[in-house]
């Protein structure tokens, strides 16, 4: 494979709603460049990018796919991303490394909700956007409507540089207002004829051409002077102006294609190599310190790992981008996270499922490596002595949680190992072995995301599992202060057990006064691992309990707090004062006082108006305005409290606080009531009181569970 200088590299990611034609466009680009001899298709499962078994089964992209092609001496690294929002975790890594985003719009449907969400994600990474309106040969194609929607959703910066001569069944030609040429395609697509613009279209094309010139001149002072002098700009000046405007996100060019019929992709690639910025011309990555890093072809070598993919009989294939220097096969690089050295035993470019071996890759390029020890997405590898670390990838919070239940006894360790491997490949998959809930909890970006995980566990790892609703990590606390006492006395021959404890148990809050009528000798504050606080006070006067037994009493209290008296859930925000008791000179020991402390705390807790607490989440629902009423009404039925609303481009952001117990399978219901046009994010907010009737129901269920 050829070696490419940084200036001749272009890194692209294909984005768009599911079904917009990204995979077909990628296939056509590979074919037009000569990288493949025959175009595959999705129905037959023969495309380069959708090569996984589940992608062939679903006939759509599920995972990221990496391809490379040469177009007129430029290397184009092409990343095809899933369009379904359930796989949004796959997008994040690609956006960190791809300088340009190609947003593919369906000519019939225009801008769909998936594209809007992806646009927001791309903007966070300052990705340079351009648009492609695909499927112009569809009978219901409506190019003007698609452009109007794009400008409404993404701004007037969306500027058509092409439009179809005709669309629908008669689509066969594209009028290019940048080059002022008409491209007419043969019936089966391929290389077009370059023709003069017909007289019937010349007036419209000239108006669009002049508007393009004016917009470019307005955004470039040097070109503005030339425009005033000559009254126009030539093609070279237009291209230079477009390059600057794209880099500054002032113009988002829009093109026409029919990927299925191989019409228009060559012109898009020609624009990319001539106008789209190289890795050296865009904002560099952020360092862990928050500073921007400037790519340096002459510097010491550093690479950033952004994606992992397991290959059977080979191991993990790790994709990376070179941020400085030149990376060569056999080179030793140090992982900035672990400090361990890694030898790059082989470097590859990727063509879907195929690996193409390369000797070296230069700054700005994307490649892959196998068999790296203790390395994964988000890690920085650099030459020894080059102390640099790039900002890790921030993956979205899960929107759905499920528990993994083994249907075969003894497979629990295998399930854990399989989930660990799947998390390495897809860090947006949340995995937790919950000791508290006694469940393996996984979280994903939607039901379809978790369905893919279930498919992998069943088919790839050959495990018999099912997904069940996860338990809710409730908390217990109290709402009033009580005095409580317990005497533990046991005699069964020989030395007995004796310990008596008096406790004052109160709900804790910041800045609370000392307990009344009790002298506090010592206070210990414990930040509990599960959240909240336990304050433990020694108020013993006169030595009625030896100080050596106080840790045992605390141990008993803490043991019962881990398995709450009311529902078995963990307790929080309580102050316990040991103020009296008695002991025996022979029979008192730590075990006796631990039991006495545990039982005294349990009895007192149940008499202190116990309150069950539930996890509350901050929920942001992004929804078109016409569905706001339905969404807000639905949130209210889920005991949600609306906190406010804000505009996010063309969408409304409804902010609410909702109990976790009410969010199970919310994603599916939200899609149902909004015709698939809404999405949401959620993050933990805190704990709040459970309504009395729900608390009674949970306690009753807990009693039944204990009996069973």
CATH number at residue 633: 3.30.70.240
Low-confidence winner among 102-106, 516-520, 577-581 (lowest mean pLDDT): 516-520
- Domain-ending residue, one of 608, 634, 649: 608
Q: What pLDDT does residue 1 have?
A: 61
Q: Which of 274, 234, 324, 319 is nearest to 6 (CA)?
A: 324
Residue 706 CB-density burial (10 A; 0-12 exposed, 13-18 middle, 19+ buried):
exposed
- Domain-ending residue, one of 281, 312, 339: 281
Specify whether 129 is located in the same domain as 244: yes
Q: What pLDDT does residue 291 have?
A: 94
Specify whether 653 is located in the same domain as 595: no
The confidence band for 309, taking pLDDT boundaries of 50, 70 and 90, is confident
Specify whether 630 is located in the same domain as 598: no
Find the CATH number of the domain harbouring 35: 3.40.50.300
DSSP state of 292: B
% of the chain residues with pLDDT over 90: 74
Query: Does any domain span residue 706?
Result: no
Packing angle of the helix pair 199-218, 221-230 (nearest 10 deg):
130
The number of residues making up the chain comes to 708
| 79: helix, strand or coil | strand
Q: Looking at the 3D structure of the chain, how many domains does it have?
A: 5
- Domain-ending residue, one of 471, 492, 516: 471
**What is the tens place of the pLDDT at every residue in 249-308?**
999 999 999 999 999 999 999 999 999 999 999 989 999 999 999 999 999 999 999 999
Whole domain around residue 215: which residue ranges?
Answer: 6-281
Q: Which of 571, 647, 653 is nearest to 618 (CA)?
A: 653
Give the Cα separation of 595 and 21 in Å (integer): 67
Q: What pLDDT does residue 112 have?
A: 86
Query: Does any domain span residue 286?
Result: no
Find the CATH number of the domain harbouring 407: 3.30.70.870
Integer Rg of the chain from CA: 32
* Cα distances (Å, whole numbers) of residue 333 to 249, 302, 315: 35, 8, 19
**What is the tens place of the pLDDT at every residue in 365-412?**
999 999 888 888 999 999 999 999 999 999 888 888 999 999 999 999
| 410: helix, strand or coil | coil
Q: pTM to 2 decimals?
A: 0.84
Specify whether 590 is located in the same domain as 486: yes
Query: Does any domain span residue 704?
Result: no
């Amino acid at each position: 494979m050829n070696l490419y200088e940084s200036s001749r590299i272009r890194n692209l990611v294909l984005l768009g709603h599911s079904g917009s034609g990204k995979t077909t466009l990628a296939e056509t680009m590979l074919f037009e460049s000569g990288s493949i001899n025959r175009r595959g298709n999705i129905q037959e499962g023969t495309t380069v990018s959708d090569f996984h078994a589940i992608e062939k089964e679903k006939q759509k992209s599920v995972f990221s796919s990496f391809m490379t092609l040469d177009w007129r001496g430029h290397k184009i690294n092409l990343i095809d991303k899933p369009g379904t929002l359930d796989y949004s975790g796959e997008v994040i890594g690609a956006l960190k490394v791809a300088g340009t985003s190609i947003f593919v719009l369906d000519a019939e449907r225009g801008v769909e909700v998936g594209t809007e969400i992806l646009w927001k994600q791309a903007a966070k990474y300052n990705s340079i956007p351009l648009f492609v309106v695909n499927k112009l040969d569809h009978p219901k194609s409506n190019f003007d409507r698609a452009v109007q929607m794009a400008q409404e959703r993404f701004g007037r910066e969306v500027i058509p540089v092409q439009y179809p001569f005709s669309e629908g069944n008669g689509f066969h030609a594209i009028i290019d207002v940048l080059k002022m040429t008409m491209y007419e395609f043969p019936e089966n697509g391929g290389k077009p004829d370059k023709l003069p613009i017909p007289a019937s279209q010349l007036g419209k094309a000239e108006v669009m051409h002049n508007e393009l010139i004016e917009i470019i001149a307005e955004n470039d002072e040097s070109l503005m002077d030339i425009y005033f002098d000559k009254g126009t700009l030539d093609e070279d000046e237009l291209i230079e102006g477009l390059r600057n405007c794209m880099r500054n996100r002032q113009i988002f060019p829009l093109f026409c294609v029919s990927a299925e019929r191989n019409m228009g992709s060559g012109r898009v690639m020609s624009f990319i190599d001539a106008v789209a910025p190289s890795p050296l011309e865009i904002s560099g990555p952020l360092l862990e310190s928050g500073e921007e890093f400037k790519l340096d072809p002459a510097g010491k070598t550093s690479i950033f790992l952004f994606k992992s993919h397991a290959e059977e009989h080979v191991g993990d294939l790790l994709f990376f981008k070179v941020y400085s220097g030149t990376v060569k096969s056999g080179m030793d690089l140090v992982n900035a996270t672990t400090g361990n050295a890694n030898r790059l035993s082989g470097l590859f470019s990727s063509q879907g499922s195929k690996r193409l071996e390369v000797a070296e890759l230069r700054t700005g390029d994307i490649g892959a490596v196998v068999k790296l020890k203790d390395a994964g997405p988000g890690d920085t590898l650099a030459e020894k002595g080059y102390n640099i670390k790039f900002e890790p990838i921030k993956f979205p919070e899960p929107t759905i949680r499920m528990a993994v239940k083994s249907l075969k006894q003894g497979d629990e360790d295998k399930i854990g190992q399989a989930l660990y491997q799947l998390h390495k490949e897809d860090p947006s998959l949340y995995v937790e072995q919950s000791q508290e809930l006694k469940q393996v909890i996984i979280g994903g970006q939607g039901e379809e995301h978790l369905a893919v995980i279930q498919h992998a566990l069943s088919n790839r790892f050959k495990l018999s599992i099912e997904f069940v609703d996860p338990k809710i990590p409730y908390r217990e606390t109290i709402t009033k202060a009580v005095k409580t006492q317990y005497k533990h006395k046991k005699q069964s021959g020989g030395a007995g057990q004796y310990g008596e404890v008096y406790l004052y148990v109160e709900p804790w809050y910041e800045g609370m006064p000392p307990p009344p009528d009790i002298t506090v000798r010592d206070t210990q504050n414990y930040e509990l691992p599960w959240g909240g606080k336990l304050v433990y006070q020694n108020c013993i006067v006169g030595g009625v309990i030896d100080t050596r037994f106080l840790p045992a009493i605390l141990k008993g209290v803490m043991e019962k707090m881990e398995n709450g008296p009311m529902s078995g859930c963990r307790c929080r925000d309580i102050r316990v004062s040991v103020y009296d008791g008695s002991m025996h000179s022979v029979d008192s020991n730590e075990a006796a006082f631990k039991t006495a402390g545990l039982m005294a705390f349990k009895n007192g807790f149940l008499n202190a108006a116990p309150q069950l607490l539930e996890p509350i989440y901050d929920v942001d629902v992004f929804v078109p305005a016409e569905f706001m009423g339905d969404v807000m009404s639905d949130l209210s039925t889920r005991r949600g409290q609306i906190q406010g609303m804000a505009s996010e481009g063309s969408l409304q952001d409804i902010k609410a606080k909702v109990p976790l117990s009410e969010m199970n399978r919310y994603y599916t219901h939200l899609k149902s009531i909004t015709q698939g046009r809404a999405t949401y994010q959620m993050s933990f907010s805190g704990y709040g009181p459970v309504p009395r009737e729900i608390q009674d129901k949970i306690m009753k269920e807990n009693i039944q569970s204990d009996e069973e």
